């Protein structure tokens, strides 16, 4: 059984399509990266998976249950942190969790447990209004852990955290993954996703534009890195005319060419022939970040 399965999942707001016929599967026990630029439709998709937003078309199955038809069963063992952390500012951290535990019929003993997990026990009695952004972030993760979830959806869990906090949360996600839970992770920190996730899906303008194994995608994303003297424009225009080049993008002074690395020499020769001075050329060891930028920014 898949932990998450969407079938032609679509959400329209008037004429705008936020999510367009999304077919996505996340296997049980997987750590799955869900990526895309701002406004790609990731949060709307998660909101549909949590029953907060009603799909215009299609279905969303969570832990084998249809979220629209059987929301209580689907979400019973799901923990989620969606958008910015949201709490009652006049209550303490512990009381906020108690409210959620009571609402969800979760034993109150879990509150102390999850506070310890995110290392917030010492400030548990303080009002949330006195918490830093990082503490609120950790409290939100504690709230997601309350139901002892099989599936955890984390939307930007390291937002607002300092480097030490980011490492802590990354380790926590690793521990959760090691305990066999399924994790759907949305993050702009692609280095983090690359380290944590086995598979990723990339959305853009509501559509799924790439998905698969991180290693496979990175191989697909390998290419040639070129730096030319002066304006890169003519070089980009020339490279785009080549049929065996997938995409060309510029980042700073560097041109990333989506083409087999062994054709770097051929690219060099073509550029020289066109009177373009090549300052540097070589195989690009594609990171997830580069791959992400290549597929989401097909044009410069």
Partner 1 sequence: MEARTTFTNLLAAEWMKIVRRPMALLLLGIFLTLTALQQTLWFLIVALQEGTFSGGNVTFGLLSTAAIEQIKRQLSLPGVFGAMLSAINGTGGILAVILTAGIFGSDFNWGTLRILLTRAPNRGAYLSAKLVALQLALLSAMVITLIVGIVLALLFSGLLGLPQRLGIVDLLLLPIGMVRALLVMLPYTLIAAASAIVGRSVIAGVGGGLIFLAFDVSAGSLNTIGAVNPLIRALVNLLLQPNINRLIIENSRMFGLDQSVLTSALDLNLLPSQWQAIIVIIVYSAIFGYSAYRTLNRQDIGGAG
Residues 6+ away with beta carbon under 8 Å from 5? 24, 25, 26, 60, 61
The region of 47-55, 164-172, 177-185, 187-195 touching partner 1 under the rule CB under 8 A is 47-55
In angstroms, what CA-CA distances link 260 with 31, 53, 217, 286? 29, 42, 14, 12
Q: Give the residue from 68, 5, 37, 35 showing the smallest Cα distance to 186.
A: 35
Residues 14-43 that bind partner 1 (CB under 8 A): 18, 39, 41, 43
Q: Residues binding partner 1: what is the number (CB under 8 A)?
A: 40
Q: Which of 172, 164, 178 is nearest to 144 (CA)?
A: 172
Name which of residues 200 to 219 contact partner 1 (CB under 8 A).
Answer: none
Shorter beta-carbon distance to partner 1: residue 52 or 242? 52
Asked whether position 99 contacts partner 1 by CB under 8 A, the answer is yes
Residue selected from 103, 109, 122, 163 as contacting partner 1 according to rule CB under 8 A: 103
- Residues in 77-96 that interact with partner 1 by CB under 8 A: 78, 80, 82-84, 86-91, 95
**For the chain, where are the alpha helices, taking DSSP H only?**
42-49, 71-75, 93-104, 109-117, 133-145, 163-178, 190-196, 214-220, 233-240, 264-273, 288-296
Contact between 6 and partner 1 per CB under 8 A: no
Point out which residues bind partner 1 (CB under 8 A).
Answer: 11, 13, 18, 39, 41, 43-44, 47-48, 50-54, 71-72, 75, 78, 80, 82-84, 86-91, 95, 98-100, 102-106, 143, 146-147
């Amino acid at each position: 059984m898949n932990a998450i399965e969407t079938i032609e999942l679509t959400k329209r707001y008037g004429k705008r399509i936020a999510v367009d016929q999304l077919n996505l599967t996340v296997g049980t026990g997987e750590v799955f990266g869900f990526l895309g630029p701002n406004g790609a439709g990731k949060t709307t998709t998660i909101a549909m998976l949590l029953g907060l937003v009603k799909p215009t078309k299609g279905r969303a199955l969570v832990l084998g249950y249809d979220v629209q038809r059987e929301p209580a069963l689907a979400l019973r063992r799901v923990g989620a942190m969606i958008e910015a952390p949201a709490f009652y500012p006049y209550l303490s951290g512990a009381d906020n969790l108690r409210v959620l535990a009571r609402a969800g019929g979760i034993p109150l003993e879990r509150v102390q447990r999850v506070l310890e997990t995110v290392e917030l026990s010492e400030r548990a009695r303080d009002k949330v209004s006195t918490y830093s952004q990082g503490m609120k972030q950790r409290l939100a993760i504690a709230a997601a852990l309350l139901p002892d979830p099989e599936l955890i959806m984390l939307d930007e869990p390291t937002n607002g955290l300092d480097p030490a906090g980011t490492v802590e949360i990354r380790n926590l996600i690793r521990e959760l993954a090691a305990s066999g839970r399924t994790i759907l992770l949305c993050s702009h920190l692609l280095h983090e996703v690359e380290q944590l996730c086995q598979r990723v899906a990339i959305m853009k303008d509501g559509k799924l534009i790439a998905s698969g194994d991180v290693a496979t995608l990175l191989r697909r994303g390998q290419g040639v890195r070129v730096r030319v003297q002066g304006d890169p424009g003519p070089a980009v225009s020339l490279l785009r005319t080549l049929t065996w080049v997938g995409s060309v993008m510029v980042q700073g002074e560097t041109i990333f060419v989506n083409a087999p690395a062994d054709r770097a020499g051929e690219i060099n020769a073509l550029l020289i022939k066109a009177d373009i001075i090549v300052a540097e050329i070589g195989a690009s060891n594609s990171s997830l970040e580069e791959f992400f930028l290549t597929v989401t920014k097909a044009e410069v």
